[in-house]
């Protein structure tokens, strides 16, 4: 929340990433494929959706609500930012557009966001609708129940064929504390029935700062179980953290069906220089085998709302079926890339030239301009044998053709002329065997600046 407040400037992410990449040997196939946080040097309240091919990140800023689209999860920081909405359009509220949430519902895309008329007491949830995540969007109106109380951080989830709206709000008309509420939905704009209180900040670890806060709820599911990851304590404090609600009954509207974690499940790490980690965005890796979360945090203590940046980290799972978030990684820690995501500049290469590229995932790419050029991606893992989609992101000033070799079987990939710095994506459906595979991209005709590739199941 409070996305419109000024933020402390940081060095561009590309410089951080390039400093690391330049120190690694580009031909070492055994070298781990890694990235470093932050994804966005300045940002907050990340909401991300993977549509089966691309990642879409929605953010609010002083100029409105924007969307970034990237082939890779870790490339969102280099993706072009497109402003899709500004306050006051189509009779929408003018001010303080907070924490937009991107939701796919059928064949439409919705952005749920909080806004007011300049007075915080009037913050309510509103929704936009479009046929594409990058718009154009139409204002659909306010999302509120009969009580019409203060509300922010709304999201939508489905359970047993029914859809629900989940948000943070006040019990009454005064700012005493922020609770988590859930209600049935009749359609993307209309709530169906009264709200149910499922969490309030009643534990000491949720009560740092006043007013006491539960906010930023997000739904995480696995193996038929449903969890709500939420943010606790004041977002302006260093002790902002993530809590966890576990659904133990069958009725999400019954407060007795929810069990709260005994403490923060993701908290500050002074030794690593991470403060106030919170407000999750939850998403799968490209191949669907891993769970990841995006969150915002501060690098320095006492920074409040002024120093937040957006980071990414993998979620693993405990033996009892609950998510394990671990500790937040610092900027000096290299993290493995999401499964199914590969950077060309980190692959084994022969004859190619590495180039810095502002809009490339990871800030760099490699140039192939001769038939002898090779970029070899090893340890491309498939959970089971079958058809997969390989998407290659590249730029080509003129029409070009490359060869994609998959375990010894060749596929032609054509790249239309689009400009030397204008990256586009080409998709090829290929067979993969269970376990490890080797993919090699080689030059045939023309010059290509190869950025990255992803591997996703063809049935998704």
Q: Which residues are catalytic?
A: 45, 215
Measure the CA angle with vertex 124, ends 119 and 126; round to 5°: 125
Say which DSSP state 269 is in. Answer: B
CA distance 282 to 89: 29
Burial of 75: CB neighbours in 10 Å, binned 0-12, 13-18, 19+: buried
Of 430, 369, 439, nearest to 402 by C-alpha is 369
Query: Can you count the helices (H) and strands (E) in the chain?
Result: 1, 33
What SS3 state is found at 442? strand
CA distance 278 to 262: 17
Burial of 197: CB neighbours in 10 Å, binned 0-12, 13-18, 19+: middle
CB 448 within 8 A of CB 415: yes
Identify whether 211 is preceded by a cis peptide bond (ω within 30 of 0).
yes
Instruction: Assign 3-class secondary structure to 315-349.
Output: EEECCCCCEECCCCCCCCCCEECCCCEEEHHHCEE
Q: How far does Cα 248 stand from its chain's mean position?
A: 27
What SS3 state is found at 15? helix
Question: Phi and psi (nearest 5°) for 122?
Answer: -100, 15
CA distance 439 to 313: 26
What SS3 state is found at 236? coil
Give the number of other Cβ atoms within 10 Å of residue 343's Cβ. Answer: 27
Instruction: Assign 3-class secondary structure to 162-216.
Output: EEEEEEEECCCCCCCEEEEEEEEECCCCCECCCCEEEECCCCHHHCCCCCEEEEE
């Amino acid at each position: 929340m409070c996305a419109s407040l000024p933020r402390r400037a940081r060095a561009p992410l590309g410089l951080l990433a390039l400093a690391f990449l330049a120190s690694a040997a580009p031909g070492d196939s055994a070298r781990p494929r890694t990235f470093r946080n932050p994804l966005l040097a300045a940002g907050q309240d990340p909401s991300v959706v993977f549509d089966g091919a691309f990642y879409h990140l929605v953010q609010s800023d002083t100029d409105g609500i924007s969307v970034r689209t990237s082939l890779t999860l870790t490339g969102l920081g280099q993706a072009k930012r497109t402003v899709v909405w500004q306050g006051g359009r189509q009779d929408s509220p003018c001010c303080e557009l907070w924490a937009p949430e991107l939701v796919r519902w059928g064949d439409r895309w919705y952005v749920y966001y909080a806004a007011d008329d300049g007075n915080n007491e009037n913050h309510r949830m509103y929704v936009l609708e479009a046929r594409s995540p990058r718009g154009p969007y139409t204002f659909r109106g306010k999302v509120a129940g009969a009580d019409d109380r203060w509300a922010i951080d709304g999201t939508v989830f489905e359970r047993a064929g029914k859809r629900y709206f989940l948000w943070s709000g006040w019990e009454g008309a005064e700012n005493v504390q922020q609770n988590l509420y859930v209600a049935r939905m009749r359609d993307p704009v209309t709530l169906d029935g009264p709200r149910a209180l499922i969490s309030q900040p009643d534990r000491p670890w949720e009560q740092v700062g006043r007013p006491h806060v539960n906010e930023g709820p997000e739904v995480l599911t696995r193996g038929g179980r449903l969890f709500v990851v939420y943010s606790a304590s004041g977002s302006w404090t260093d002790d902002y953290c993530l809590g966890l609600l576990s659904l133990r009954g069958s009725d999400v509207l019954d407060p007795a069906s929810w069990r709260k974690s005994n403490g923060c499940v993701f908290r500050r790490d002074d030794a690593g220089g991470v403060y106030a980690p919170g407000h999750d965005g939850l998403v799968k890796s490209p191949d669907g085998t891993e769970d990841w979360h995006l969150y915002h945090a501060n690098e320095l203590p006492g920074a409040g709302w002024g120093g937040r940046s957006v980071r990414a980290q993998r979620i693993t799972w405990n033996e009892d079926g609950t998510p394990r978030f671990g500790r937040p990684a610092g900027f000096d820690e290299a993290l493995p890339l999401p499964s199914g995501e590969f950077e060309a500049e980190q692959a084994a290469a022969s004859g190619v030239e590495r180039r810095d590229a502002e809009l490339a995932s990871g800030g760099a790419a490699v140039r192939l301009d001769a038939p002898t050029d090779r970029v070899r991606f090893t340890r491309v893992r498939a959970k089971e044998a079958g058809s997969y989609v390989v998407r290659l992101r590249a730029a080509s000033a003129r029409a070009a053709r490359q060869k994609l070799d998959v375990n010894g079987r060749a596929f032609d990939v054509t790249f239309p002329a689009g400009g030397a710095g204008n990256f586009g994506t080409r998709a090829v459906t290929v067979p993969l065997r269970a376990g490890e595979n080797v993919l090699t991209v080689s030059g045939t005709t023309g010059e290509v600046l190869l950025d990255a590739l992803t591997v996703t199941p063809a049935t998704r």
